[in-house]
A = this chain, B = another copy of it.
Amino acid sequence: MKNGPDIAEVAALIGDPARANILAALMSGKALTASELAAEAGVTRATASSHLSKLQNGGLLAARSQGRHRYFTLANAEVGNVLETLMGLAARQGQLRTRTGPKDVAMRQARVCYDHLAGDLSVRMFDSLTSAGVFAHGPKGLGLTDAGRARMVEFGIDFTPLDSARRPLCRSCQDWSERRSHLAGGLGAALLSRFYDLNWARRVPDSRVVTFTPKGVRAFNEAFPLA
């Protein structure tokens, strides 16, 4: 009778409001302490601690102790992907909700998805790179063509840490606002931090929003033109 793995278990973990708030806060990619997450979830430290251990036990969170603090992050990008997908569904069938707030617009344009970029800009980048022949489908999943790799090197991506990591280089991730995929994986993360380094973009504190400077937008569009 039973075949598939226990989808109910993980859904139930996400299904509690306090835990959902914790997970949503961690979608920013920043590591947060237990107290910060308690505040974020609007709950005492005691209950937050309970939730955090459950989430960690369920494989959704990773924790590392540092001094007397305990920093939590999403266990991996896959968890972020699931959360994005769920947000997409929730947004869709809550059709009657207020559509576009001012902050909402910024979120739709560019936001952090755990450790890489999501939103309109990210989707456009993915399209641009795809039609430029940067990606190749291999037996191990999405990969880079030789030309694509060269182009990324030229853009300033350092492949040495990426190649030695056991994390896949390219991965597609469902986008929350657009109904498309964007680039995740090690390369996706590296590109986002490259944007920061180039001063094209900056994080808005306490938010998933990423703002691009005017210069940054121009450069971005030039680097990733639409076909």
Contacts and interface: CB of A to CB of B under 8 A. Distances in A.
B5 A94 contact: yes
A171 B175 CA distance: 12
Interface string A103-146: 11001000000000000000000010011000011000110000
A174 B60 CA distance: 19
Interface string A60-101: 100000000000000100110111011111111110010001
Interface of A: 1, 3-17, 19-21, 23-24, 42, 58-60, 75, 78-79, 81-83, 85-94, 97, 101, 103-104, 107, 127, 130-131, 136-137, 141-142, 168, 171-172, 174, 178-181, 227
A83 B7 contact: yes
Contacts of A20: 7-8, 11
13 contacts: A3-B103, A4-B24, A7-B83, A8-B15, A8-B17, A10-B89, A10-B93, A12-B12, A12-B15, A78-B88, A81-B89, A82-B85, A172-B180
B127 A6 contact: no
Say whether chain A's binding surface is mostly helix, strand, loop, or mixed: helix
A84 to B, nearest CB: 9
Nearest to A128: B137
Contact of A137 (B83, B86, B130, B142): B130
A16 B93 CA distance: 19
B90 A7 contact: yes
A5 B142 CA distance: 31
B89 A82 contact: yes
A8 B3 contact: no
A174 to B, nearest CB: 6
B7 A14 contact: yes
Nearest to A60: B93
A117 to B, nearest CB: 17
